[in-house]
């Protein structure tokens, strides 16, 4: 499938693993641009953030033919966007709100293709609904002590020890991980 240089505009170990699972050869150049949240609904927000990341890295490679993949994930509970927590107390509050109910996870993906000084792109988003079992304050504190929360939207990583609290996922699991690879594969087919 691959005949172009591919760059992942993210330092996320999960996204790296998922691209490897797809059998792609790529390099990692994380975006350093400060994220600016734009858009009204969650899908627009993650699509815009993924585009910002991909465009930032693509602009650094202005003279090369390249395919850049940008992605961003947010957690939404009661129509409020939850980003990454800034403190353990904020992480505790996030998990307390998420426990015992369902919330939405949105991941936006942008693929920017530069070929012979022509730039095209594809942007899409996917949504998954995650239902979390009830958690006691002690269970939340024990989970937080594992150190998995601080760099994750919504203060949890579904692939880690938080998995024991996940009752159900509606939608693609990889959307919750941060890169819906089925949608990405369909997008990449346009460019590779």
Question: How many whole angstroms separate alpha carbon 178 and alpha carbon 170?
Answer: 15
Judge contact between 177 and 154, C-beta under 8 A.
no
Question: How many whole angstroms separate alpha carbon 96 and alpha carbon 14?
Answer: 25
What size, in residues, is the chain? 192
Q: Assess whether 72 carries a catalytic annotation.
A: yes
By three-state DSSP, how is residue 163 classified? helix
By three-state DSSP, how is residue 71 classified? strand
Ranges assigned E (strand) in 41-183: 66-77, 80-82, 102-115, 118-132, 166-170
Question: How many whole angstroms separate alpha carbon 118 and alpha carbon 126?
Answer: 27
Q: Could you say which of 56, 65, 72, 122 is catalytic?
A: 72
Largest CA distance in the chain: 57
User: Catalytic residue numbers?
Assistant: 72
């Amino acid at each position: 499938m691959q005949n172009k240089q591919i760059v992942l505009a993210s330092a996320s170990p999960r996204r790296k693993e998922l691209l490897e699972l797809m059998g792609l050869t790529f390099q990692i150049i994380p975006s350093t641009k400060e994220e600016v949240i734009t858009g009204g609904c969650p899908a627009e927000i993650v699509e815009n953030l993924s585009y910002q990341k991909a465009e930032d890295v693509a602009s650094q490679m202005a003279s090369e033919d390249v395919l850049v993949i940008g992605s961003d994930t947010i957690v939404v509970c009661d129509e409020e966007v939850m980003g990454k927590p800034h403190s353990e107390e904020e992480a505790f509050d996030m998990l307390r709100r998420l426990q015992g109910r369902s919330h939405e996870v949105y991941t936006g993906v942008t693929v920017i293709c530069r070929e012979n000084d022509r730039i095209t792109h594809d942007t899409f988003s996917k949504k998954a609904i995650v239902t979390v079992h009830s958690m006691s304050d002690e269970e939340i504190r024990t989970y937080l002590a594992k150190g998995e929360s601080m760099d994750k939207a919504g203060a949890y990583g579904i692939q880690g020890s938080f998995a024991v609290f996940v009752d159900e996922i509606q939608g693609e699991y990889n959307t919750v991980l941060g890169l819906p690879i089925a949608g990405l594969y369909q997008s990449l087919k346009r460019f590779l």
